[in-house]
Amino acid sequence: MNKNNIEIELMKTTIYKSFSPDVKRALLTKGKIKKFNKNQIVYNKGDICNSFDIVIDGILASYSLNAKENENVMFNFTPNTFMGGNLLFASKPIYPMSIYSQEDCTIYCLSKGEIEELISYKEFALFFIISISKNAQNLNKKIVKYTQNTLRDNIIEYLQELRVIQRSNKIILPISKKELAIVFGVQRQSLFRELKRMRDDGIIDYDNKTIVYNQ
């Protein structure tokens, strides 16, 4: 892919637009664009991390399989988020979970050597450090969620966030309940049992596509 086509893709991100002309020019001489179809494996658990990836468009998910071969989704990567930065310079840069595309995706990949060259720009070095910090913060939040919160706590927190975004107590679910169970790291039956208890307690009402949050 030539520079013009790479820039067309990168211009879709607020990250690229925020850089100075010098950093933009440097980026266009490095990296490569990769495209993935929906439900395509991007990285398998155990793969060596060879690049720092910026998500341009689409959604990717990292997941692990539990003892019953069910997926537990740990993280979602959306446009303007990053993958691999916390692994690339590790002594054992191995992906601990698989990553796949939940929809058609485009990512921009920078190798370890290219990152080392770009870090000579203070602006890019700061961006790279911040990206690693954000991923570490998200990991800490995920750990807290799974170790301290009950399933009901997680459902309520999720509904509260959507209520603010949608500005309505009648919340349209952006994903299926099966996918929601994966996000919470539980079996679908467990999610449905808790939703029924919450409805019996008067906290919610729901149908196939919406949940009315009464609190």
Of 158, 152, 18, the closest CA to residue 76 belongs to 158
pLDDT in the model for residue 203? 93
Angle formed at CA 70 by CA 69 and CA 71, multiple of 5 degrees = 120
For 138-179, the pLDDT digits (tens) are 766 666 665 667 888 888 888 887 887 788 899 988 878 877
66-74 contacts at long range (C-beta below 8 A, 24 or more positions apart): 70/182, 70/187, 71/182, 72/182, 72/185, 73/182, 73/183, 73/185, 74/142, 74/185
Of 78, 178, 92, the closest CA to residue 138 belongs to 78
For 17-64, the pLDDT digits (tens) are 999 999 999 999 999 999 999 989 999 888 999 999 999 999 998 876
For 91-127, the pLDDT digits (tens) are 889 988 889 998 999 999 999 999 999 999 999 999 9
pLDDT in the model for residue 71? 54
